[in-house]
Amino acid sequence: MFKEVINLAPDNFRGYSNLGGIYVLQGRYQEAIPILEKSASIRPSVQVYDNLGYAYFFMHKFDAAVHNFEEGLKFDRSSWLSWGNLGDAYYWAPGRRQQAKDAYREALRLSDEKLRVNARDGQVLAYRATYLAMLERKKDATDSMQRALSISAKDPDVKFRAALMYNHFDDTDRTLQSLRDALVSGLAASTVRDTPDFDHLRDDSRLQVLLRGH
């Protein structure tokens, strides 16, 4: 349907952005990038640069991911998600982990503002938990994630964030259980396969079985 949008309205930036976003979700990063760049050339936005950042991040091209997340924030400095994405890219880009902490702190501050409007937003609570984890605040991270799971128990993205949190604290059993739950709930296997946090588990037969099943 997004391809049809582009056919009918070749200058529709949302058509390109949405199609590129779908390709990212499918793990088709090389196909996504030129489509997203086309969208950005028509009308740049935080959303399209976030999608470009995701594509490069999952390809493990972390400097390019940093660049795109930084570009996106020029259009919306209040995006808690974009600050968190930038923190992730900084974390994996060589020599930039101190900058990652600053980005996570800003993501945390803005997500807390979001929760003051709706304290029962499970996704925000889950992302917030991972920001807290990256700042080594284990108890706060765990508390936030437990709240997220109690509110959004069926959300695959929330379960995936739980896996990220458990993985950061070296709890491999809970990491794998959370990944299994996320995949069963509909998370794309490419997201697990291409997230660098789980690279150290690539040779774990339990993860291999999970990915083969999805």
Provide the residue ranges of all domains of the chain, joining segments of one domain with +: 118-214
* Residue 12 burial (CB count, 10 A): 17
Q: Would you say the C-alpha torsion 167, 172, 177, 179 has a positive or negative sign?
A: positive
What pLDDT was estimated at residue 213? 82
The CATH number of 118-214 is 1.25.40
SS3 206: helix
Q: How confident is the model over 97-118, as a mean pLDDT?
A: 97
What phi and psi values does residue 119 have, to the nearest 5 degrees?
-70, -10
Q: Which two three-digit tokens encode residue 99? A: 């900058």
Per-residue pLDDT tens for 131-170? 999 999 999 999 999 999 999 999 999 999 999 999 999 9
Task: Give the whole-angstrom CA distance, residue 116 versus residue 7.
Answer: 42
What pLDDT was estimated at residue 214? 80
What pLDDT was estimated at residue 187? 96
- How much of the chain, in percent, has pLDDT values that exceed 90? 99
pLDDT at position 199 over 90: yes
Could you give the dihedral angle defined by the CA atoms of residues 137, 132, 181 and 50, in that order, rounded to the nearest 10 degrees?
Answer: -160
Per-residue pLDDT tens for 81-94? 999 999 999 999 99
Rounded alpha-carbon distances, angstroms, from residue 146 to 40, 123, 125, 164, 170: 37, 12, 9, 14, 18
On average, the pLDDT of the chain sits at 97
